[in-house]
Protein backbone atom coordinates (compact mmCIF):
# COMPACT_ATOMS: atom_id res chain seq x y z
CA UNK A 1 0.00 0.00 0.00
CA UNK A 2 1.36 3.41 -0.92
CA UNK A 3 2.29 5.82 1.84
CA UNK A 4 1.20 9.41 2.31
CA UNK A 5 4.14 11.75 2.95
CA UNK A 6 4.07 15.32 4.17
CA UNK A 7 7.24 17.34 3.50
CA UNK A 8 7.89 20.87 4.71
CA UNK A 9 9.99 23.22 2.61
CA UNK A 10 9.32 21.07 -0.45
CA UNK A 11 9.74 23.74 -3.11
CA UNK A 12 13.52 23.93 -3.29
CA UNK A 13 16.76 22.50 -1.99
CA UNK A 14 16.78 19.14 -0.29
CA UNK A 15 13.01 19.21 0.17
CA UNK A 16 12.48 19.32 -3.58
CA UNK A 17 14.68 16.26 -4.07
CA UNK A 18 12.71 14.46 -1.36
CA UNK A 19 9.42 15.43 -3.01
CA UNK A 20 10.44 14.20 -6.46
CA UNK A 21 11.74 10.91 -5.05
CA UNK A 22 8.52 10.26 -3.15
CA UNK A 23 6.36 10.79 -6.22
CA UNK A 24 8.70 8.69 -8.38
CA UNK A 25 8.31 5.84 -5.88
CA UNK A 26 4.53 5.84 -6.38
CA UNK A 27 3.70 7.22 -2.96
CA UNK A 28 1.39 10.18 -2.31
CA UNK A 29 2.74 13.54 -1.27
CA UNK A 30 1.59 16.62 0.58
CA UNK A 31 4.20 19.19 -0.42
CA UNK A 32 4.23 22.37 1.64
CA UNK A 33 5.93 25.74 1.55
CA UNK A 34 5.36 29.40 2.23
CA UNK A 35 4.76 29.98 -1.50
CA UNK A 36 2.57 27.14 -2.82
CA UNK A 37 2.76 28.39 -6.42
CA UNK A 38 6.54 28.12 -6.30
CA UNK A 39 6.28 24.63 -4.79
CA UNK A 40 3.84 23.45 -7.46
CA UNK A 41 5.94 24.87 -10.29
CA UNK A 42 9.12 23.23 -8.94
CA UNK A 43 7.61 19.78 -8.47
CA UNK A 44 5.29 19.58 -11.47
CA UNK A 45 1.90 17.94 -11.78
CA UNK A 46 0.87 14.57 -10.37
CA UNK A 47 -2.42 13.01 -9.34
CA UNK A 48 -0.62 11.87 -6.19
CA UNK A 49 0.36 15.42 -5.22
CA UNK A 50 -1.28 17.98 -2.97
CA UNK A 51 0.45 21.35 -2.59
CA UNK A 52 -0.55 23.50 0.34
CA UNK A 53 0.62 26.62 2.15
CA UNK A 54 2.69 26.14 5.27
CA UNK A 55 4.92 28.61 7.05
CA UNK A 56 6.25 26.35 9.80
CA UNK A 57 6.56 29.26 12.21
CA UNK A 58 2.75 29.67 12.18
CA UNK A 59 0.86 27.01 14.17
CA UNK A 60 -2.39 27.80 12.36
CA UNK A 61 -0.72 27.06 9.01
CA UNK A 62 0.37 23.67 10.33
CA UNK A 63 -3.15 22.77 11.41
CA UNK A 64 -4.61 23.90 8.08
CA UNK A 65 -2.04 21.90 6.11
CA UNK A 66 -2.73 18.74 8.12
CA UNK A 67 -6.48 19.18 7.67
CA UNK A 68 -6.00 19.59 3.90
CA UNK A 69 -3.87 16.44 3.82
CA UNK A 70 -6.52 14.40 5.64
CA UNK A 71 -9.30 15.76 3.44
CA UNK A 72 -7.37 14.74 0.30
CA UNK A 73 -5.67 11.48 1.29
CA UNK A 74 -7.28 10.41 4.58
CA UNK A 75 -4.03 9.83 6.48
CA UNK A 76 -0.40 10.91 6.96
CA UNK A 77 2.14 8.11 7.20
CA UNK A 78 5.42 10.03 7.03
CA UNK A 79 6.19 13.58 8.13
CA UNK A 80 9.50 15.05 7.00
CA UNK A 81 10.47 18.14 8.96
CA UNK A 82 12.75 19.65 6.35
CA UNK A 83 12.15 23.43 6.14
CA UNK A 84 15.24 25.30 7.31
CA UNK A 85 17.16 28.55 7.33
CA UNK A 86 20.73 29.45 8.27
CA UNK A 87 21.79 32.46 10.35
CA UNK A 88 25.59 32.49 10.30
CA UNK A 89 27.97 34.63 12.31
CA UNK A 90 29.70 35.08 15.62
CA UNK A 91 27.30 34.86 18.55
CA UNK A 92 28.30 38.27 19.86
CA UNK A 93 27.38 39.85 16.53
CA UNK A 94 24.14 37.94 15.90
CA UNK A 95 21.18 40.06 16.90
CA UNK A 96 18.56 38.76 19.32
CA UNK A 97 16.09 38.94 16.44
CA UNK A 98 18.30 36.69 14.29
CA UNK A 99 18.62 34.18 17.11
CA UNK A 100 14.84 34.19 17.52
CA UNK A 101 14.33 33.66 13.78
CA UNK A 102 16.82 30.78 13.71
CA UNK A 103 15.09 29.02 16.59
CA UNK A 104 11.69 29.75 15.08
CA UNK A 105 12.49 28.02 11.80
CA UNK A 106 14.85 25.32 13.04
CA UNK A 107 13.19 24.23 16.29
CA UNK A 108 9.78 25.77 16.97
CA UNK A 109 8.70 25.25 13.34
CA UNK A 110 9.18 21.46 13.39
CA UNK A 111 7.45 21.41 16.78
CA UNK A 112 4.46 23.26 15.33
CA UNK A 113 4.09 20.82 12.44
CA UNK A 114 4.68 17.72 14.56
CA UNK A 115 2.15 18.88 17.13
CA UNK A 116 -0.45 19.18 14.36
CA UNK A 117 0.38 15.76 12.89
CA UNK A 118 0.57 13.72 16.10
CA UNK A 119 -3.20 13.43 16.68
CA UNK A 120 -3.58 11.98 13.18
CA UNK A 121 -0.83 9.43 13.73
CA UNK A 122 -2.13 8.50 17.16
CA UNK A 123 -5.55 7.91 15.65
CA UNK A 124 -4.03 5.71 12.95
CA UNK A 125 -1.91 3.82 15.44
CA UNK A 126 1.11 4.39 13.19
CA UNK A 127 3.33 7.02 11.67
CA UNK A 128 6.93 8.04 11.05
CA UNK A 129 8.42 11.44 11.86
CA UNK A 130 11.69 12.22 10.07
CA UNK A 131 13.51 15.38 11.12
CA UNK A 132 16.32 16.75 8.98
CA UNK A 133 18.94 17.97 11.42
CA UNK A 134 22.66 18.46 10.77
CA UNK A 135 26.12 17.45 11.87
CA UNK A 136 25.92 20.84 13.59
CA UNK A 137 23.58 19.16 16.08
CA UNK A 138 26.43 16.90 17.20
CA UNK A 139 29.52 19.05 16.60
CA UNK A 140 29.78 22.74 17.39
CA UNK A 141 31.33 24.92 14.69
CA UNK A 142 32.75 28.42 14.90
CA UNK A 143 30.47 30.96 13.16
CA UNK A 144 27.49 28.58 13.49
CA UNK A 145 26.34 29.14 17.06
CA UNK A 146 22.76 30.07 16.16
CA UNK A 147 22.33 27.16 13.76
CA UNK A 148 23.92 24.70 16.19
CA UNK A 149 21.69 25.94 19.00
CA UNK A 150 18.59 25.15 16.95
CA UNK A 151 19.88 21.78 15.72
CA UNK A 152 21.21 20.56 19.10
CA UNK A 153 17.81 21.41 20.56
CA UNK A 154 16.00 19.68 17.68
CA UNK A 155 17.88 16.44 18.34
CA UNK A 156 17.22 16.59 22.07
CA UNK A 157 13.53 17.19 21.51
CA UNK A 158 13.17 14.31 19.05
CA UNK A 159 15.12 11.91 21.27
CA UNK A 160 12.78 12.78 24.12
CA UNK A 161 9.67 12.63 21.94
CA UNK A 162 10.36 9.07 20.76
CA UNK A 163 9.58 7.24 24.03
CA UNK A 164 6.50 9.43 24.48
CA UNK A 165 4.96 8.32 21.18
CA UNK A 166 6.25 4.75 20.91
CA UNK A 167 3.13 3.29 22.60
CA UNK A 168 1.04 4.73 19.75
CA UNK A 169 3.02 3.01 17.01
CA UNK A 170 4.84 6.22 16.05
CA UNK A 171 8.54 6.17 15.19
CA UNK A 172 11.02 9.02 14.84
CA UNK A 173 14.31 9.39 12.98
CA UNK A 174 16.90 12.15 13.16
CA UNK A 175 18.88 12.68 9.96
CA UNK A 176 22.27 14.35 10.42
CA UNK A 177 23.55 15.35 6.96
CA UNK A 178 27.03 16.63 6.25
CA UNK A 179 27.61 19.03 3.37
CA UNK A 180 25.04 18.42 0.64
CA UNK A 181 24.70 20.51 -2.49
CA UNK A 182 21.46 22.26 -1.61
CA UNK A 183 20.33 25.88 -1.54
CA UNK A 184 21.02 26.30 2.19
CA UNK A 185 24.06 28.49 1.50
CA UNK A 186 22.35 30.57 -1.18
CA UNK A 187 21.47 34.21 -0.55
CA UNK A 188 17.80 33.19 -0.20
CA UNK A 189 18.55 30.87 2.72
CA UNK A 190 21.62 32.22 4.51
CA UNK A 191 21.59 35.41 6.54
CA UNK A 192 24.79 36.74 8.08
CA UNK A 193 25.27 38.63 11.32
CA UNK A 194 26.05 42.33 10.97
CA UNK A 195 29.70 43.31 11.37
CA UNK A 196 29.54 44.88 14.79
CA UNK A 197 32.71 43.94 16.71
CA UNK A 198 36.08 44.86 15.22
CA UNK A 199 37.91 42.11 17.12
CA UNK A 200 36.22 39.55 14.83
CA UNK A 201 37.08 41.30 11.55
CA UNK A 202 39.89 39.02 10.34
CA UNK A 203 38.25 35.73 11.22
CA UNK A 204 34.84 36.94 10.02
CA UNK A 205 36.26 37.72 6.59
CA UNK A 206 37.76 34.24 6.37
CA UNK A 207 34.49 32.55 7.33
CA UNK A 208 32.40 34.66 4.97
CA UNK A 209 34.73 33.73 2.14
CA UNK A 210 34.54 30.04 3.07
CA UNK A 211 30.75 29.82 3.33
CA UNK A 212 30.12 31.79 0.16
CA UNK A 213 32.64 29.75 -1.81
CA UNK A 214 31.18 26.46 -0.47
CA UNK A 215 27.80 27.13 -2.10
CA UNK A 216 27.41 24.73 -5.00
CA UNK A 217 30.61 22.84 -4.14
CA UNK A 218 29.30 20.56 -1.37
CA UNK A 219 30.17 16.88 -1.97
CA UNK A 220 26.83 15.33 -0.98
CA UNK A 221 24.21 14.53 -3.64
CA UNK A 222 20.73 15.37 -2.26
CA UNK A 223 19.05 13.09 -4.82
CA UNK A 224 20.97 10.15 -3.36
CA UNK A 225 19.99 11.24 0.15
CA UNK A 226 16.36 11.29 -0.98
CA UNK A 227 16.64 7.69 -2.18
CA UNK A 228 18.34 6.72 1.08
CA UNK A 229 15.46 8.31 2.99
CA UNK A 230 12.90 6.23 1.10
CA UNK A 231 14.95 3.09 1.75
CA UNK A 232 15.08 3.81 5.49
CA UNK A 233 11.37 4.67 5.75
CA UNK A 234 10.52 1.36 4.09
CA UNK A 235 12.52 -0.71 6.57
CA UNK A 236 10.52 -2.77 9.10
CA UNK A 237 11.84 -0.48 11.84
CA UNK A 238 12.86 3.14 11.35
CA UNK A 239 16.42 3.87 12.55
CA UNK A 240 16.49 6.38 15.39
CA UNK A 241 19.34 8.28 13.72
CA UNK A 242 20.97 8.34 10.28
CA UNK A 243 24.35 10.02 9.81
CA UNK A 244 24.25 11.09 6.15
CA UNK A 245 27.41 11.47 4.12
CA UNK A 246 30.99 10.26 4.47
CA UNK A 247 32.05 13.69 5.74
CA UNK A 248 29.36 13.55 8.42
CA UNK A 249 30.47 10.08 9.50
CA UNK A 250 34.05 11.31 9.84
CA UNK A 251 33.08 14.37 11.89
CA UNK A 252 30.84 12.40 14.23
CA UNK A 253 33.50 9.72 14.74
CA UNK A 254 35.95 12.46 15.72
CA UNK A 255 33.40 13.90 18.15
CA UNK A 256 32.77 10.50 19.74
CA UNK A 257 36.50 10.00 20.22
CA UNK A 258 36.81 13.47 21.75
CA UNK A 259 33.96 12.85 24.20
CA UNK A 260 35.56 9.55 25.23
CA UNK A 261 38.85 11.36 25.93
CA UNK A 262 36.98 13.96 27.96
CA UNK A 263 35.33 11.21 30.02
CA UNK A 264 38.60 9.38 30.59
CA UNK A 265 40.49 12.55 31.55
CA UNK A 266 38.49 13.08 34.73
CA UNK A 267 36.65 9.80 35.26
CA UNK A 268 37.93 9.36 38.82
CA UNK A 269 36.82 12.88 39.79
CA UNK A 270 33.46 12.42 38.06
CA UNK A 271 32.88 9.16 39.91
CA UNK A 272 33.65 10.63 43.34
CA UNK A 273 30.74 13.04 43.63
CA UNK A 274 28.15 10.89 45.41
CA UNK A 275 27.34 11.34 49.11
CA UNK A 276 29.71 9.40 51.36
CA UNK A 277 28.24 6.12 52.59
Cα separation, 196 vs 198, in Å, equals 7
Residue 45, SS3 per DSSP:
coil
Distance from C-alpha of 103 to C-alpha of 187, rounded to nearest angstrom = 19
Burial of 46: CB neighbours in 10 Å, binned 0-12, 13-18, 19+: middle
Q: Is residue 49 part of a domain?
A: yes
Specify if 271 maps to a domain. Answer: no
Q: Count the helix, strand and coil residues of the chain and give each as a percent rounded to the nearest 5.
A: 50, 15, 30
Give me the number of domains the chain comprises. Answer: 1
Residue 125 lies in a domain: yes
Q: Would residue 147 show up in a list of annotated catalytic residues for this protein?
A: yes
- State the pLDDT at residue 194: 85
User: What's the whole-model pTM score?
Assistant: 0.94
Specify if 260 maps to a domain.
Answer: no
Is-contact 192 89, C-beta < 8 A?
yes
Sign of CA dihedral 4, 157, 55, 186: negative
Instruction: Report in angstroms the alpha-carbon separations of 186 from 133, 191, 216, 276.
Output: 18, 9, 9, 57
Question: Which domain range does residue 229 map to?
Answer: 4-252
Q: What is the pLDDT of residue 182?
A: 67
> 13-24 and 222-233 helices cross at what angle (nearest 10)?
50
CA 211, CA 112: separation in Å to the nearest integer?
Answer: 30
Q: Which of 87, 90, 147, 192 is catalytic?
A: 147
Q: Residue 196: what pLDDT?
A: 80
CA–CA gap between residue 130 and residue 233 (Å, rounded): 9
Q: What is the pLDDT of residue 185?
A: 56
170 part of a folded domain = yes
The pLDDT tens digits for 182-207 are 665 556 667 888 878 999 999 998 88
Residue 211 is predicted with a pLDDT of 75
Is residue 228 in a domain? yes
* CB neighbour list of residue 43: distance below 8 Å, 6 or more residues apart: 10, 11, 16, 19, 20, 23, 31, 49, 51
- CATH code at position 216: 3.40.50.720
pLDDT on residue 253: 98
Residue 265 resides in a domain: no
Q: Enumerate residue ranges in the chain where pLDDT < 70.
A: 181-189, 216-217, 219
Residue 140, in any domain of the structure: yes
Predicted pLDDT of residue 225: 93
Amino acid sequence: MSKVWMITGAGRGMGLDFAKAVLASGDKLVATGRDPERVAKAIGQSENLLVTTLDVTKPADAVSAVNAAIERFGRIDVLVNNAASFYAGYFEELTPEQMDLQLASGLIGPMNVTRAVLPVMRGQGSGKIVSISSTASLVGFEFCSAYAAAKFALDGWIESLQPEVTPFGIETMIVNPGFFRTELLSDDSTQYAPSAVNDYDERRAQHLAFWKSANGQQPGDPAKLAQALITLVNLPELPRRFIAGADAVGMVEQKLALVQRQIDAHKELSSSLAFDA
